[in-house]
Each structure stands twice: as structure tokens, then as C-alpha cells.
Amino acid sequence: MIFSFSTPIWFYSKPVDFRKQLDSLATLVADQLQMNPASGQLYIFRNRSSNKLKMIWWDTNGFWLCYRRLEKDCLVFPPVSDGVMELSRDQLGWLLSGLNFTEHKSFAEMKPTNFY
């Protein structure tokens, strides 16, 4: 993916009207989530039918809007709740692959200090 690996990833679990485009999604991030849509963080939104998602991301001087639509099957999302949940890079990959990202566990991050 084109996203920086140090970019926080936020998933908004409440279904969004997919007639909303970039400006409406950025306004949702700013007004409802009280976050900065131009922070360089990735924001993910889902539809009610669980077969589409949209992602917005600020890159230096403009927004990216990414859209995914499954022609068959559904994406696996956690239960609907207010607010956002932070995802890891692994969880984003699992979500985009159709796996239940809430049931998988990543390896613990290590910061080695001794090298042999």
C-alpha cells in the first residue's frame, strides 16, 4: 500500500451513507470524531451491507479517497459502536482480505538492543 507504515489507522465501525464523498467524510472525522482529517492518519469507513469500505488519507498537499467494493461475500467488521478503534497494519491487511481482524493476533513488537 502507499500508506506510511507509521501512520495511525482508525476504523469507524458505525455504517456510513456511501453517497458521502471525501469532503463529507473529512467533516465527519473533524466534527464527530474530534480528530484532524489532515493529520496524515488513515480513516476507514464501512457501509451498512458490509460489502464496501472507504478510506481517506491526507498526503502532503491533498487527500486520497480509496474505495473497495466486494462483488460477492461481505467484509467482516466488529459490532457497531460509537467512536473509532485503532487498527494495526496487520489488522488492516486482514480486514482488506476478508478475515475477522478482531480474532487474529499479531506478534508482539520487539525492539532489539543486542545484535550478534
Q: Where are the beta strands (DSSP E) in the chain?
A: 9-12, 42-46, 52-59, 62-69, 84-87
> What does the pLDDT read at residue 5?
58
Backbone angles phi, psi at 22, to 5 degrees: -55, -50
* Rounded CA separation 28/116 (Å): 50
> What does the pLDDT read at residue 26?
96
**Residues 59-69: what's their mean pLDDT?**
92
- Domain map (residue ranges) of the chain: 9-97
The pTM for the full model equals 0.84
Res 110 pLDDT > 60? yes
* Rounded CA separation 45/100 (Å): 16
pLDDT in tens, 24-57: 999 999 999 999 999 999 999 999 999 999 999 9
Looking at the DSSP bridge assignments, the partners of residue 53 are 46, 68
pLDDT in tens, 89-101: 888 888 888 777 7
